[in-house]
Amino acid sequence: MKQIGLGLMGLGNIGIGTWKTLEMNGETIKKNTGIDFKFVKILEKNVDAKRDIDVDKKLFTDDPQDLFNNDDIDVVIELLGGIEPAASFMLEALNNGKHVVTANKAAVAANYDKLLESAEKNNVMFRYEASVGGGIPILNPLLTVLRGNEIESIMGILNGTTNYILTQMTDFGLDFDAVLKTAQEKGFAEADPTADVEGIDVANKLSILMAIAFDKYVKPQEIKTTGITGITKQDIENAKSKGAKIKLVAGAKKLANGELEYEVGPMEIADDHPLASVSNEFNAVFLKGNAVDELMFYGKGAGPLPTGSAVVGDLIDIAQRI
């Protein structure tokens, strides 16, 4: 049995989802892979928060050095959210020889080059599948089985909160604010949902996707981004009358001259396009490769367990290579 020690940073929604995924499937993972994951330390100030998991309080610390300098920890899982201090903590963990797994799109998109270079320099692994599309495997396929393609275009619905809001407004005529509140209660929305509704979260994800799919890192703030706060019930009705739905779409396309065209914004998607059937917190990535042609990846883009699934997948991948 291979024992892998985990240092977890952040026991919020996604931290709990990761804990539960390992609790639910730990025995199966052990049986199938011979890997036994163990939480060694948890960086979390809010020790007494109500959580429906049973965590030994001795695991909690408020000092990140307890993770970076701990010989029993092989992999640091960063689930704090936000750019800082998360990015600095990940860099310090990598510099201390720890492998790192994260779901944090904001920190990865803002520091993509730095994080990858640091992992390479320190000869450790850095994985971030959960940062784009929640539970949907999209980054790893692009890095492995799709590597033989030139990707020509990508269209993605990459934010569960806004897709949930637009779906509920379209299908049930509900009000924006009430639906946003439900999305927050379901654990889809960011701590500050401005990042969701203004499209910033999608720009972060598109930045990461483009870096992998087109080998071109574009900072999120360089991506033209429009959110959904300006979308009215009338806009939705107008789209309906044309046989279309309004979706917040991340688009990127390689032009004939080799330049990349990219944008995030609300779009009318015709009802017969595969992306029109992606509802609620579901996400999808529709892409075209020059060999494989059209592909669509579909699944839950937000929520504790779907995101926990992607985090645990990265943990297993790392553990198998250690």
Catalytic residue numbers, as ranges: 205
Q: Could you tell me the smallest distance in angstroms from the CB atom of residue 67 to ligand HSE? A: 23
Q: Which residues contact 188 (CB under 8 A, 6 or more apart)?
A: 160, 161, 164, 196, 281, 302, 303
Closest CA to 80 of 131, 129, 142: 131
Of 302 and 318, the one with the shorter C-beta distance to ligand HSE is 302
Q: Could you tell me the smallest distance in angstroms from the CB atom of residue 102 to ligand HSE? A: 12
Of 74 and 196, the one with the shorter C-beta distance to ligand HSE is 196
Q: Could you tell me the smallest distance in angstroms from the CB atom of residue 170 to ligand HSE? A: 17
C-alpha torsion 273→274→280→281, nearest 10 = -130
Partnered with residue 294 across adjacent β-strands are: 288
Q: Could you tell me the smallest distance in angstroms from the CB atom of residue 16 to ligand HSE? A: 14
Of 13 and 118, the one with the shorter C-beta distance to ligand HSE is 13
Q: Which helix (H) or strand (E) holds 130?
A: none
Q: Could you tell me the smallest distance in angstroms from the CB atom of residue 110 to ligand HSE? A: 15
Q: How many helices (H) does the chain have, and how many strands (E)?
A: 12, 11
- Assess whether the previous peptide bond of 274 is cis (omega < 30° from 0): no
Q: Token digits for 140?
A: 């790893």
Of 169 and 189, the one with the shorter C-beta distance to ligand HSE is 189
Q: What is the full DSSP assignment across 47-71?
A: TT---SS---GGGEES-THHHHT-T
Of 131 and 170, the one with the shorter C-beta distance to ligand HSE is 131
The residues of the shown chain that bind ligand HSE, judged by CB under 6 A, are: 134, 159-161, 188-190, 196, 201, 301-302
C-alpha torsion 146→148→149→154, nearest 10 = 20
Number of other CB atoms surrounding residue 228 within 10 Å: 24
